[in-house]
Amino acid sequence: MTDIIDKAAMALSAGLMLLGIVGLGLVELIAGQPYSPVPITNEAGDVVATPLISPEIRTGVVLAGIAVLGLYAAYKIVTPLAEDARTGHETVAD
């Protein structure tokens, strides 16, 4: 059971962080100019160009991945160890 939870937590957190950093970054790159995370204005103050995906969305996806890792860490701290993992193995010396 814990192997499934371990793999699911790792896959979900890695997927969210890769999506937020690499995936949405590539989407911004393919969308073309501007490469700035803030709206670009002209001298009159009018917004000339805005990014395709808001920086708040990208940051939120990455933070969701980090939150999944935090919840996974809390789960590992709270869950007791299996009985065989606690008992040590003794060998007789010659």
**Whole-angstrom Cα distance, residue 42 to residue 30?**
24
User: Is the Cβ–Cβ distance between 65 and 17 less than 8 Å?
Assistant: yes
| CA nearest to 66, candidates 2, 31, 16, 21 | 16
Collect the ranges in the chain with pLDDT lower than 70. 1, 82-89, 94
Please give the pLDDT value at position 85. Answer: 58
- Which residue is listed with tokens 């501007």? 34
The Cα 24–Cα 47 span in angstroms is: 22
pLDDT in tens, 51-78: 888 889 999 999 999 999 999 999 999 9
Nearest to 62 by CA among 23, 9, 8, 7: 23
